[in-house]
Amino acid sequence: MDFVSSFLEIVLFLYRAIFGLLLIFFIPGYVFTWAIYTRKEDLTFIVRIALSCVLSIAIAMLSTLFLDYVMGIDTTGLNITITLVLLTLYLVFLYYFRVRWITMKK
């Protein structure tokens, strides 16, 4: 039983580390590039990946500063994760509505 629980702890740690790194270094910026540049031809794949890494770091830092200094909320891991997930979902909806608006305009 001890082996199973320690194995589960290791798997959960790896899952949490991978998801956390993706959430800070890739996902928000990638969604942000799709929200800004809605057409596939606007950016090449390499440029979109590079821009998404830089933008993700900037978004994570700015959202953390916004939470701490403007909102006065403690900067814990859970608060930062919730903020980044909500911001990413907002950008997904923005992309969806921009694409719908562009196709309705044509």
Give the model's pLDDT for residue 26. 95
pTM for this model (two decimals)? 0.83
At 18-44, the pLDDT tens digits run 999 999 999 999 999 999 998 888 899
Q: Worst-scoring range by mean pLDDT, 1-5, 12-16, 51-55, 70-74? A: 1-5
Express as a percent the part of the chain with pLDDT over 90. Answer: 74
Res. 12: pLDDT tops 80: yes
DSSP class per residue in the chain = -HHHHHHHHHHHHHHHHHHHHHHHHTHHHHHHHHHHS-STTSS-HHHHHHHHHHHHHHHHHHHHHIIIIIS-----HHHHHHHHHHHHHHHHHHHHHHHHHHHHH-
